[in-house]
Chain A
Amino acid sequence: MLKSIIRKEILNNLFSYKFSIIFILSTILILVSIFVMYRDYCLALDNHDILRKESGNSATVIPPTPLGIFAKGLDENLCRPWELEAVGVEISSEEQKSLNNLFKLFTAPDLLYIIKVILSLCAMLFAFDMVSGEKETGTLRQSLSNSLKRPILIFGKWLGGFTSFILPFFMAVLLGTILVTLSPMVDINAQGWARLGLFILSGVIYLAVFFSLGLLISCLTHRSSTSLVISLFVWTILVFLIPNLGNILARQFVQIPTAQQLELKREQIRNKFNSEYDRILKTQPDFKEREKALLRRYVAEGDKLDEDYRNRFNSLVTVSQNITRFSPAAAFTFLATDIMGTGMAEERRLKRAAQQYRDILLEWYTDENRDEESKEPAFGYQRSSVKGALGQGGLSNCLVLILLNVLFLTGAYVAFLRYDVR
């Protein structure tokens, strides 16, 4: 019985108008997205090469990740070149910038965006009339007039429906990935492939959430036009309202100075340092010791400022994540960017690494026993492993998605058991 239902559901969808449109749309979008982001990646890689050549060993800039083609996240931020100051870290400017200013006005159309926004809508459009629509046409009655258990019917519908929805997605992503990885500029290692696989898996779980939600709405309504309106309403809230509003809301709970203000405060410290430094007479015998002591004192003051700011910032991110976590879109964004190494976890890690590097340099510089010939220690950084990224709360995002799936599916099941099919 279940097999018949699944087969019928798949076939029915394959012949339907909405399947053709969604198939065409998602294929075009996914391929265009991968291609467009691939070119963007090539540009970023080019820029990175210049910077590396310019600064050589002491380059403090990390290369863009090819996985950014699929989930750009914060990669542009992560790959900015920066310079260490005794107090604070500054972004060194001009060389790396998007010359086309329009990038600032619109969102990057990476695969993450396509899945998060567009395909989630498509999933709901696929599922919204699975039950209410069949009620309207009378085929639901016809099916249930046989000795067919309702749970089997609803599960068969879910399985058949979701399979027919996810197939075009898979094919398009596979095609796009193959085309892109054929390029010599894209070098994905084994870990990278594992990440990509996990990313696609999380995308499937995310889309299943919306599919189940669409089915639930269908089981709670009796006309497909009503299901449609409610589905669109819910989609807007979950994908746009909660994540975006949540972040602004978080800023109301956690007071944090802007980065510009922080920079000015550092400037103040730097100027204080310079004044005192100027006053130390170079002719004094203990000049070098005094200089080092002064440097240490001001670095400590700058560190205190930084630590205060960083604590506030971390709590802002935590509050933000907690508020927005109820939205599958937010949970998916955090999860996917963490998996691909372009998320908040990576960003935090890089900042910490910059801090540590600054400390190492300071040590090296103030070390009396330093060998005069020794070179400045270079900055080395590897993006965190998937385990590391997921360990920092990434798994809880995955759990949220799975839980939502279970919740909506259970809701659909319960609703369908008492659904009036007349």
Chain B
Amino acid sequence: MLKTIIAREFLNNILNLRFMIGLVLCIIVTVACIMILAHDYQQEMTDYNIRVNLQDKILDNYAKANFFRLWRMIRLQKPPERFRPLIIGIPGNENLGFFDDNPLPILFPPLDFLFIVTIIMSLLAILFSHDAIAGERQSGTLRLVISNSISRTKILFGKFIGGTTSLIIPFILSLLVGALYISINPSIQWDGSAWAELALLTAASITFITLFYLLGLMVSTFSRYSTTSILNCLFLWILLVLVIPNVCPYISAQLYRIPSIKETERKNREIEIHSIEVARELMKESVKKFKSSYGKLFSEFESMEFGGIGTRFVLERDAGPEHEKAAQQRAEADPEFKAMMDAFREEGKKAQKELIRVREESDMLDKDLETKAAAQTKLAKNLACISPFANFVYVARGLTGTGLRSLDYFEQTKDEYENQLRPYLSKKIDDAREKNPALEEESLLDVSDRPRFAFKEEALKEKLNEILPYWGILVLFNVVFFVAAFAGFIIYDVR
């Protein structure tokens, strides 16, 4: 009996205009999309290689023996995500951004596999299922079916399986064509883990699509007419797919207030000023103390602008290299002068420690802001979980390394590399200085043997840990909708 229902539902859909339209739309769009994005990926790879070469050239030709200038030359490049032929990632350094970037993607979010599943397939699912019950009631066939000895559970189950099968087929077909294109494309090199991720992505997509099929089925069991049913389905779809996910970040920004940047900036400035005042007071005390202890010697020292110790913004004096030199020479000539200078330097260090300690408060403020911001993002993410669309986006982007997590992961690998590079550069400069004590900061440095940045994809296991809860929510939605559809159908008036 169940097999009969499944087969009939399946055939009914296939012979329907909806199926033809869905099939055509699905295949054309998916294939076109993958082909265009694959080509796009090639261009991005070319661009990436050019950038890496440029970066190398800059370092090879202009690396100077000045750590800060050298550090400024390092700009690590992120290669295009390997899943880019399917899913377009989020633009990376959005915080920094570039003045000359192309803003068109802001106005028109690009079309990719995510879009195909979340918009096209979910709409198709609703189209297939919204009149599964209400439409059959209207045409009178539901009465005929139920007049046989078959349980309502079997009927519903049969409809679900038959319907989703007829829906998944065009989807899988188009994905296969796309996968084939990717595999024969020489510029896209996918290893085993990438194909595994694709398989998982397909499974997640199917969970998402069946969710919407069940939504339509559920609404159908609560409607008498298919026109009412489709209207209700579409409005639910609009809310779940188009509205809730887009509104949640803004709502969470209202619900979980973080100190405004204005506030934090103001506090930081206060702390900075306060810290300088504290250090200034300390130094002024030291100056007074030293004046009374060392008298004339100290006055001489003062005329040399304290040899550049603790001057600038603390003692508000402009000490040049000549003052430093003069103080150095005097110290070499007069041991008492040297002792005083050393003692004064100690005082300077104390004041600096005080400066650092007070400034740590400001660092705490920044960290606090960061933590609160992360909490706000988490709240937004959790709020958006009401929408299956958001959950699927997290799963898909998490699996394929095209989401926020991958940006964080890139930062992590960047930090790891920088921790390797920093000591290498310092050592290089020190070695060069050792060889040539008269080395100037403008002298060129050979850094051709530097460690190279190699971006690795995050392990699948880590990704799975992150996305499984969201996948679980999708499955939960499936269960809830099926149970609701079941409840609705058991009491449904078939006349």
Contact = CB atoms under 8 A, between A and B. Distances in A.
Contact of B107 (A73, A80, A255, A313): A73
A343 B103 CA distance: 9
A50 interface: yes
- Chain A residues touching B, range: 35 or more
Contact of A337 (B96, B107, B119, B380): B107
A12 interface: no
A50 B47 contact: no
A241 B108 CA distance: 10
Contacts of B131: 225
Most buried by A among B29, B227, B251: B227
B467 to A, nearest CB: 14
Contacts of A320: 104
B89 to A, nearest CB: 10
B254 A39 contact: yes
A419 interface: no
B254 A17 contact: no
B98 A330 contact: no
Contacts of B135: 225
Interface string A102-114: 1111111100010
Interface in B220-248: 226-228, 230-232, 234-235, 238-239, 242-243, 245-248
A245 B234 contact: no
B50 A261 contact: yes
A36 interface: yes
Interface in A66-110: 73-74, 76-77, 80, 82, 88-91, 93-97, 99-109
B55 A108 contact: no
B468 interface: no
A260 B442 contact: no
A93 B39 CA distance: 32
Nearest to B251: A36
Contacts of A262: 98, 100
B180 interface: no
A26 B98 CA distance: 37
A245 B36 contact: yes
Most buried by B among A93, A97, A103, A241: A241
Interface in A289-336: 306, 309-310, 313, 316-317, 320, 324, 330, 333-334
B232 to A, nearest CB: 8
Given A101-B404, A241-B29, A252-B40, A77 B103 contact: yes
A60 to B, nearest CB: 10
Nearest to B53: A264
Contact of A93 (B77, B96, B245): B96
Contacts of A313: 100, 102
Nearest to B106: A74
Contact of A125 (B97, B104, B231): B231
A33 B250 CA distance: 10
A217 to B, nearest CB: 13
Given A93-B95, A240-B119, A225 B226 contact: yes
Given A260-B77, A263-B98, A106 B111 contact: no
B391 to A, nearest CB: 12
Contacts of B251: 36
Contacts of A184: none
Most buried by B among A133, A247, A320: A247
B246 A108 contact: yes
B54 A261 contact: yes
Contacts of A105: 90, 245, 393, 397, 403-404
Contact of B404 (A50, A76, A104, A107): A104
A50 B263 CA distance: 9
Interface in A105-138: 105-109, 113, 117-118, 121, 125, 129, 133
Given A36-B251, A102-B248, A129-B227, A267 B58 contact: yes
Given A229-B127, A248-B110, A264 B51 contact: yes
B99 A232 contact: no
B249 A100 contact: yes
B434 interface: no
Contacts of A236: 25, 119-120, 123
B262 A50 contact: yes
Interface string B18-55: 10010001000100110011011001100100110011
Contacts of B343: none
B285 interface: no
Nearest to B250: A36
Contact of B376 (A96, A99, A104, A330): A99
Interface string B399-419: 000011000000000000000
B58 A324 contact: no
Nearest to A96: B261
A333 B393 CA distance: 25
B44 to A, nearest CB: 8
A13 to B, nearest CB: 13
Interface in A243-265: 243-249, 251-252, 255-265
A417 interface: no
A21 B98 CA distance: 44
Contacts of A248: 36-37, 40, 110-111
A354 B258 CA distance: 33
Interface stretch (A141-149, A154-162, A168-176, A271-279): A271-279
Nearest to A129: B227
Given A233-B21, A257-B47, A354-B99, A103 B127 contact: no
A333 B246 contact: no
B234 A121 contact: yes
A244 B115 contact: yes
Nearest to B54: A264
B36 A252 contact: yes
Interface stretch (A1-9, A40-48, A198-206, A398-406): A40-48
Most buried by B among A102, A229, A261, A264: A102
A106 B98 contact: no
B492 interface: no
Contacts of A421: none
A166 B249 CA distance: 29
A107 B118 CA distance: 14
Interface of A: 17-18, 21, 25, 29, 32-33, 36-37, 39-40, 43, 46-47, 49-50, 54, 73-74, 76-77, 80, 82, 88-91, 93-97, 99-109, 113, 117-118, 121, 125, 129, 133, 224-226, 228-230, 232-233, 236, 240-241, 243-249, 251-252, 255-265, 267-268, 271-272, 274-275, 278, 306, 309-310, 313, 316-317, 320, 324, 330, 333-334, 337, 343-344, 347, 351, 354
Nearest first, the 10 closest Cβ-Cβ pairs linking A and B are A259-B98, A99-B373, A271-B62, A244-B111, A102-B249, A109-B246, A259-B101, A36-B250, A264-B54, A89-B99
Given A32-B247, A118-B242, 16 more contacts: A17-B231, A21-B231, A29-B243, A47-B262, A91-B98, A104-B404, A105-B245, A229-B17, A241-B111, A248-B110, A249-B36, A258-B51, A259-B102, A260-B51, A260-B77, A267-B54
22 contacts: A25-B235, A36-B251, A99-B369, A100-B252, A106-B248, A109-B243, A109-B246, A229-B18, A232-B123, A236-B25, A240-B111, A241-B29, A245-B32, A249-B36, A252-B40, A262-B100, A263-B75, A263-B100, A267-B75, A316-B104, A324-B108, A354-B99
